[in-house]
Amino acid sequence: LNPGGVDVELRHGSLFTPLEGCEPFDYILVNPPFEPVPPGTDHFLHSHGGEDGLDLVREMLTALPAHLKPGGRFEMYTWAPGNDETSVLVDLLRAAFPSGRIEVHRVHDRPLDERLRPFRAEKGYAAWRQRLIDAGYTSIWGVFTRVDSEGPAETVILDLPDEVEACIEIAREWD
């Protein structure tokens, strides 16, 4: 499955633990568990992102800059709670990369209640939902992020739902 002969080494473990003692990387690509899930709810491990969907992202971002070479790049696709103007993920990325260039590509934006709907029957749903609303969240963004670890220190939010929908419509023609 590696026709280009790229040198790949697989390691198993929790976040950066298996990488202790390794040289920093030029490029880190991540697709973390990102689905908001009410506390105490059993859910698929591959998508359980905690109460607001960002538990693993927060943990990862505290250690990630130390594992990236100067001038290295970090990319991630995730969901992140937000509102019409921004997502909490923007602040998390800026805190992790204060001097990096951050691009947040909003590829879709769904109302909060639409994303929470699968959990309506769960115990504690109403209180969980209210905590998210009280935090100012009105929607869940689907985002692709790109961070260049070295400047210019700027944050760019690109709103792409229309372009993504146009691509989906083209793909439907092939079905």
Give the separation between CA 133 and CA 114, rounded to whole angstroms.
Answer: 13
Q: What is the DSSP string of 91-141?
A: HHHHHH-TTSEEEEEEEEEEEHHHHHGGGTTSTTHHHHHHHHHHTT--EEE
pLDDT at position 161:
66
Q: DSSP H helical segments within the chain, as ranges? A: 55-63, 88-96, 112-116, 125-134, 161-172
3-state secondary structure of 154: strand
pLDDT at position 163:
72
| Segments in the chain below pLDDT 50 | none
pLDDT in tens, 136-160: 999 999 999 999 988 789 999 988 7
pLDDT at position 151:
77
pLDDT at position 164:
65
pLDDT at position 126:
96
